[in-house]
Amino acid sequence: MLVALFPTLSLVTVIHAQLCQPDAENAFKVRLSLKTALGDKAYAWNRNEEYLFKAMVAFSLRTFSNKETIEISNVLLCNITKRVSFWFVVTDPSKNQTLPASEVQEAIRMNRNRINNAFFLNDQTLEFLEIPTTLGPPTEPSTPIWIIIFGVVFSLVVVGIVLLIMSGIHKQRRKSKALTETGDVEDKYETVVTIENGIPCDTLDSKEGRINRAFAADGEKLTSL
């Protein structure tokens, strides 16, 4: 029986090897940049990490297409380099073929975040070549920040202008009040000292003074030129 097993096993591995090849049908290339992402805390890529990767891919396909039959052994890795990069395919458990690329792609896209987190990587350091990333919506607050700061600055300036204008008006009113006040004071001052030679000057209201009729007659005696 062992003799019969051997050719079957080798046949299976040969078929598997044929399914997973660089640029094979429905195969994807994966590239990891562990040192760039983690620096000193980078872990080594070994068979256990490969096992986790296969598990994540199998999990994605199970949740996406609800095929409970997909096992870790259905995910095949090959051409692993020191980069670290490798190719993988997913075989259909019922047939001896690979699952279509579109299905695998959609499954990976749906669970990209979880796959990234499992390895402490992100979209740039764990690259699935030919699987585009879905960009998350930009996190914008309801009011852009610049409008808030604009409102603060603008209201401060407007308040300042109003204060300055009001203080200007206040100053003007005080100035004009002071002018009228000094005017009254001067009038009072004049009404006090206006008695000369016993004659109160305020009786002499007219600027021209009083006409002295004693002199007026003299002018008529002179002959006119």
Binding site for other proteins (CB under 8 A): 31-36, 81-85, 132, 134-135, 137-138, 145-146, 149-150, 153-154, 157-158, 160-161, 164-165, 168, 172
SS3 percent helix, strand, coil of the chain, rounded to 5, is: 55, 10, 35
Residue closer to other proteins by CB (options 51, 150) is 150
Q: How far is the CB of 116 from other proteins (least distance, A)?
A: 16
- Please spell the DSSP secondary structure of 56-116, one letter per residue: HHHHHHHHHH--TT--GGGEEEE---SSSEEEEEEB-SSSSSBPPHHHHHHHHHHTHHHHH
Q: How far is the CB of 223 from other proteins (least distance, A)?
A: 27
Q: How far is the CB of 121 from other proteins (least distance, A)?
A: 12
Question: Is residue 84 within 8 Å of residue 119, measured between CB atoms?
Answer: no
Closest of 76, 62, 71 to residue 24, by C-alpha:
76
Residue closer to other proteins by CB (options 59, 120) is 120
Q: Where are the beta strands (DSSP E) in the chain?
A: 28-32, 75-78, 85-90, 126-128, 195-196, 199-200
Residue closer to other proteins by CB (options 63, 134) is 134
108: CB partners within 8 A, 6+ apart = 28, 57, 60, 115, 128, 131
Q: How far is the CB of 31 from other proteins (least distance, A)?
A: 7
Residue closer to other proteins by CB (options 155, 194) is 155
Q: How far is the CB of 150 from other proteins (least distance, A)?
A: 5
Residue closer to other proteins by CB (options 15, 149) is 149
